[in-house]
Chains A and B, each alone.
Chain A
Amino acid sequence: MSKIQLNNVSLDYIDDTNVFHALDNLNFSVKEGEFVSIIGASGCGKSTTLGILSGLRNPTSGNLLIDGKKSIGTGKNRGVVFQHYSLFPWMTSKKNVSFGIKQLRDDLCQREIDEMANGYLKKVGLEGFENKYPYQLSGGMQQRVAIARTLAMQPEILLMDEPFGAVDAKNKIILQDLLLELLQKDEDRKTIVFVTHDVDEAILLSDRVLFMNNKKIVEEILIDFERPRQRTKIFNTAEYSELRQKIMGLFYQVVKENIGGDEVVI
């Protein structure tokens, strides 16, 4: 049984008289412990798909199954990291993390929650920043807090919506390595769906890449590098450049189609 299953999922937005198709008959499944990336040009529907998976949006038709059961709305089994810093500005890093824990665990006392929060902040390398407010942290650090908050809730499924999209190049590499390191330990192994537009990021992190175009999944690419992975070992292989070329080729095709069709946007 798949951990996540999407069956014929479509989503339409109706605005007065216009109907806008946001997703068109989506079918795919994710196995337990699998890392799947959804990649595609902006507007292809990848973030909307994640919105369906997280339960923030409900499909107009079709359904989302988690562990074989129909799922509606957000749930404790899923944690989400967004591209834009989703921390609460009035809480310190520690408060942000412990706020997340508190929503799920009413069996813990404040001291245990605080210890847990500190532990997860340490895991993402933010020891010493527990009492800083988000405005006192850099973008990369804020994103670390967001990751710590999501991990601290110990969800079975981790959904990430371009989590490093707004982080500068150097911090992006550091955060990707952090994610590889955190998620390759067996006890922390989670089912992950990761939305990105960065080809290298998708190949480096995932077991499988889904390429989306025009509200549909058009291609599925398996990435079978062994884990634990290391950036430096993968990047020089012939296999890597082949995968990269394949995905880039898909992007070029999208560009050609758009220019050839009536959606010319330059």
Chain B
Amino acid sequence: MSQLFKVARFTPHALFFVLLSLIFLPSIAEVKNKGVFLGVVILFELVLLIKHKSKAAHDIVFFVFAFLAFWEFSTTKIPNSNIMLYPTPENVFAVYFSDWRKILTGIGSSMYLLLTGFLTAVISGIIFGMIAGWFTRIREAVFPIAKVISPIPPIIYTPYAVALLPSFQLASIFVIFSSIFWSVFISMILSVSNIDRKLLESAKTLNVKSTTMLWNILLPYCLPQVMKGLPISIANAFMVLTAAEMIGATSGLGWFVKYYSDFSDYTRVVAGIILIGVVVSLINLLIAAIEKKVIRWR
């Protein structure tokens, strides 16, 4: 096993040199700017050198390099009949340099919509869910209704929301809101109504007031479970957002992909797709960091 691991440790570095030589060897297709792609490859190698103790880092970088090497080889070293549909990695990554202004405003406008919808949905979902979970009568009325509404895919609302609401921004905030609100609301109701009876009794014997019960007992009790669902919610919300942007926006990440695919500029389309993956991952890292900061009692 240890022998095998030694080989596994070595392969990503070997692939790094293979990639470098592929980049510097002459290309069949026209390559405008190698710099950004080269930079990305070197960045991965540097991260690997810093994280040299982690087995997972070796395996992940191995797959990334293997994929990039295949992509690089198949586009620049083999005669490619359709360079427009299957662009070279150099040209894809070069988009981040040439279009940086458009990309930054795109990220900005997407994040504005996402954050506004996300925060309003999470905050109101927590508050209403807590109230509905705590009062049995409200719960019994609201929960069945929520169970009917929540499975409707929020994407379905998009065309109607865009037509109904005065601005595109408002429409997409509404759609993002409804993609997150129900899952937070339902998970809050469930976790409030399943609270450990011992904790409740212990709070009751301390003579807590009802507001204290909601804010100091129920909220912290339910927070971990709600936060656990957030990465999935945010991924859903992002899906809804990019779909909405494809319908009515004039900037944003989803718009970027849709706009250039209308011009058959698939280099920019691929660049946009990769960018969306990176942005979603960064958001998830941020949520994990916040979770670690907020929930310190586990």
**A and B pair up:** yes
Q: A84-B198, A88-B217, A90-B220 are in contact. Are A134 and B297 (CB under 8 A)?
A: yes
- How far apart are the CA atoms of A88 and B298 in the complex, in Å? 12
How many residues in A have their beta carbons less than 8 Å from beta carbons of B? 26
Q: A74-B207, A135-B297 are in contact. Are A99 and B216 (CB under 8 A)?
A: yes
Interface residues of A in 141-200 (CB under 8 A from B): 149, 153
Question: Which one of A76, A79, A88, A100 contacts B199 once the chains associate, using CB atoms below 8 Å?
Answer: A88
| B143 interface hit (Cβ, 8 Å) | no
CB-based contact A104/B199 at 8 Å: no
Interface residues of A in 43-67 (CB under 8 A from B): 54-56
With a cutoff of 8 Å between Cβ atoms, the chain A residues found around residue B204 in the complex are: 56, 74
With both beta carbons as reference points, the residue of chain A lying nearest to B223 in the complex is identified as: A90
With a cutoff of 8 Å between Cβ atoms, the chain A residues found around residue B298 in the complex are: 89, 135
| A82 interface hit (Cβ, 8 Å) | yes
With both beta carbons as reference points, the residue of chain A lying nearest to B203 in the complex is identified as: A88
Q: A86-B199, A133-B297, A135-B298 are in contact. Are A103 and B207 (CB under 8 A)?
A: yes
CB-based contact A89/B297 at 8 Å: yes
With a cutoff of 8 Å between Cβ atoms, the chain B residues found around residue A87 in the complex are: 202
| B145 interface hit (Cβ, 8 Å) | no
Q: Mark B207-248, 1 if CB is under 8 A from A, else 0.
A: 111001000110011000000000000000000000000000
- How far apart are the CA atoms of A54 and B202 in the complex, in Å? 11
CB-based contact A153/B220 at 8 Å: no
B208 to chain A, nearest CB (A): 5
A189 to chain B, nearest CB (A): 21
CB-based contact B217/A103 at 8 Å: no
| B205 interface hit (Cβ, 8 Å) | yes
A144 to chain B, nearest CB (A): 15
- How far apart are the CA atoms of A118 and B206 in the complex, in Å? 18
The residue among A54, A56, A86, A134 with the most chain B CB atoms within 10 A of its own CB is A86
CB-based contact A54/B297 at 8 Å: no
A182 to chain B, nearest CB (A): 19
Q: A86-B198, A103-B212 are in contact. Are A56 and B205 (CB under 8 A)?
A: yes
Q: A90-B297, A103-B212 are in contact. Are A80 and B205 (CB under 8 A)?
A: yes
A101 to chain B, nearest CB (A): 10
- How far apart are the CA atoms of A80 and B200 in the complex, in Å? 13
Number of A-B contacts (CB under 8 A): 52
Q: A133-B296, A134-B297, A135-B298 are in contact. Are A103 and B208 (CB under 8 A)?
A: yes
- How far apart are the CA atoms of A99 and B209 in the complex, in Å? 12
With a cutoff of 8 Å between Cβ atoms, the chain B residues found around residue A82 in the complex are: 198, 201-202
| A215 interface hit (Cβ, 8 Å) | no
CB-based contact A56/B201 at 8 Å: yes
The residue among B202, B203, B220 with the most chain A CB atoms within 10 A of its own CB is B202
CB-based contact A153/B206 at 8 Å: yes
B164 to chain A, nearest CB (A): 42
A147 to chain B, nearest CB (A): 13
With a cutoff of 8 Å between Cβ atoms, the chain B residues found around residue A89 in the complex are: 297-298
Q: A88-B220, A103-B212 are in contact. Are A78 and B297 (CB under 8 A)?
A: no
Q: A74-B207, A103-B208 are in contact. Are A86 and B201 (CB under 8 A)?
A: yes
With a cutoff of 8 Å between Cβ atoms, the chain A residues found around residue B212 in the complex are: 103
- How far apart are the CA atoms of A55 and B205 in the complex, in Å? 8
A55 to chain B, nearest CB (A): 8
- How far apart are the CA atoms of A55 and B204 in the complex, in Å? 9
Q: A88-B217, A90-B220, A135-B297 are in contact. Are A103 and B206 (CB under 8 A)?
A: yes
- How far apart are the CA atoms of A90 and B227 in the complex, in Å? 15
A93 to chain B, nearest CB (A): 12
With a cutoff of 8 Å between Cβ atoms, the chain A residues found around residue B206 in the complex are: 99-100, 103, 149, 153
A152 to chain B, nearest CB (A): 11
- How far apart are the CA atoms of A55 and B206 in the complex, in Å? 11
With both beta carbons as reference points, the residue of chain A lying nearest to B212 in the complex is identified as: A103
With a cutoff of 8 Å between Cβ atoms, the chain B residues found around residue A133 in the complex are: 296-297
**21 A-B Cβ contacts within 8 A?**
A54-B205, A55-B205, A56-B201, A74-B204, A76-B207, A79-B205, A80-B201, A80-B202, A82-B201, A84-B198, A86-B198, A87-B202, A89-B297, A99-B206, A99-B216, A103-B209, A103-B212, A133-B297, A135-B297, A135-B298, A149-B206
The 8 closest A-B pairs by CB, nearest first: A86-B202, A80-B205, A90-B220, A133-B297, A90-B297, A89-B297, A103-B206, A100-B206
Extra inter-chain contacts (13) besides given A82-B198, A88-B217, A99-B206, CB under 8 Å: A54-B205, A74-B207, A79-B205, A80-B205, A86-B198, A86-B199, A87-B202, A90-B220, A91-B297, A103-B212, A104-B207, A134-B297, A135-B297
Residues of B within 8 A of A (CB): 198-199, 201-209, 212, 216-217, 220-221, 295-298
Residues of A within 8 A of B (CB): 54-56, 74-76, 78-80, 82, 84, 86-91, 99-100, 103-104, 133-135, 149, 153
